[in-house]
């Protein structure tokens, strides 16, 4: 599986071990996206359990389960969701205020109808105050579509995108502007977090507009979070990009209630 510039891979710790049947091998401890790390034993035993053991045997079931887990774990890491947001799910988003329940309902519907959203390239905007769980909900949607639909997804904070693009201009950089834009255009669902959090130079506005526009032309959905209200967002990325984000039923959720960050238990 190809890992994008913004994605990650699980850490793997190895130590030498010995299989009674197959001899020496490297025992591996694989970092789990949800924190529940797993150990990989002898790779030859795993292969045999998967390919030559009876399909209804316990060994085969365990090996098949481990294979599925590794694949899903790798795809969740590839989203690049930062450690802090990995536990975020739709189920653990707190809804104390009516606006929060409404925001959650829109996000749940987006996941439930994701095949349709993907077909239509339907976007989602989460706008409003800092500390209201926009990133929580965005990451929860990414995890859900990867787990439930096998989709590819990527979490990319706008300041990180800009920093990566600027770094690509440096002499000797492995990345190019094109390779970074290609990474951001390759996934089924892209979450651009914190749009508008940085200064808003012409270069920044143009870059973000290009990403949104490229995904629009390829009919791929994008989720945007921003602390800018809708009116200022159009100044930031341009009316046309905002219009594209709202096409085909793209909803905008306004996070207008007071931030509860800091007072949160």
The span from the CA of 150 to the CA of 156, in Å, is: 19
Pick the piece of the chain touching Zn ion (CB under 5 A) from 15-23, 28-36, 137-145, 193-201. Answer: 15-23
Strands 222-226 and 251-255: unpaired
Closest distance of CB 54 from Zn ion, Å: 18
The span from the CA of 103 to the CA of 138, in Å, is: 11
22 binds Zn ion (CB under 5 A): yes
Which residue in 14, 37, 44, 71 binds Zn ion (CB under 5 A)? 44
9 binds Zn ion (CB under 5 A): no
Which residue in 2, 21, 231, 262 binds Zn ion (CB under 5 A)? 21
178 binds Zn ion (CB under 5 A): no
Closest distance of CB 51 from Zn ion, Å: 13
Running DSSP on this structure, what letter comes out for residue 219?
A: T
Counting every residue written for the chain, the total comes to 265
Task: Report residue 235 CA to chain centroid gap.
Answer: 27
20 vs 258 by CB, closer to Zn ion: 20
17 binds Zn ion (CB under 5 A): no
Q: How many CA atoms lie within 13 A of 52 on its CB side?
A: 5
For residues 239-258, which are near Zn ion according to CB under 5 A?
Answer: none
Q: How many CA atoms lie within 13 A of 199 on its CB side?
A: 6
Closest distance of CB 135 from Zn ion, Å: 43
Pick the piece of the chain touching Zn ion (CB under 5 A) from 13-21, 75-83, 146-154, 219-227. Answer: 13-21
45 binds Zn ion (CB under 5 A): yes
Q: What DSSP assignment string belongs to 99-127?
A: HHHHHHHHHHHHHHTHHHHHHHT--EEEE
46 vs 260 by CB, closer to Zn ion: 46
Question: In angstroms, how far is the first alpha carbon of the chain from the final one?
Answer: 38
> Can you read off the two tokens belonging to residue 29?
């401890």
61 binds Zn ion (CB under 5 A): no
The span from the CA of 100 to the CA of 135, in Å, is: 13
Which residue in 4, 6, 42, 137 binds Zn ion (CB under 5 A)? 42
Interacting residues toward Zn ion by CB under 5 A = 19, 21-22, 42, 44-45
């Amino acid at each position: 599986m190809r890992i994008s510039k913004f994605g990650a891979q699980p850490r793997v710790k190895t130590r030498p071990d010995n299989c009674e049947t197959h001899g020496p091998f490297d025992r591996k401890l694989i970092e789990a996206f949800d924190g529940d790390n797993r150990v990989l034993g002898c790779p030859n035993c795993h292969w045999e359990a998967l390919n030559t053991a009876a399909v209804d045997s316990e060994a085969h079931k365990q090996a098949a389960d481990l294979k599925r887990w590794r694949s899903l774990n790798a795809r969740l890491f590839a989203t690049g969701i930062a450690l802090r947001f990995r536990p975020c799910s739709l189920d653990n988003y707190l809804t104390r205020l009516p606006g929060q329940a409404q925001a959650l309902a829109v996000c749940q519907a987006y996941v439930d109808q994701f095949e349709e959203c993907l077909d239509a390239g339907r976007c989602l905007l989460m706008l409003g105050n800092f500390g209201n769980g926009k990133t929580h909900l965005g990451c929860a949607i990414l995890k859900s579509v990867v787990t439930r639909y096998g989709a590819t997804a990527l979490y990319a904070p706008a300041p990180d995108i800009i920093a990566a693009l600027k770094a690509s201009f440096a002499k000797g950089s492995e990345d190019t502007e094109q390779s970074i834009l290609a990474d951001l255009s390759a996934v089924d669902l892209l979450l651009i977090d914190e749009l508008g959090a940085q200064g808003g130079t012409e270069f920044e506005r143009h870059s973000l507009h290009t990403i949104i526009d490229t995904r629009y032309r390829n009919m791929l959905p994008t989720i945007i979070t921003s602390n800018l209200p809708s009116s200022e967002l159009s100044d930031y990325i341009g009316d046309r990009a905002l219009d594209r984000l709202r096409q085909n039923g793209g909803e905008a959720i306004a996070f207008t209630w007071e931030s509860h960050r800091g007072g949160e238990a």
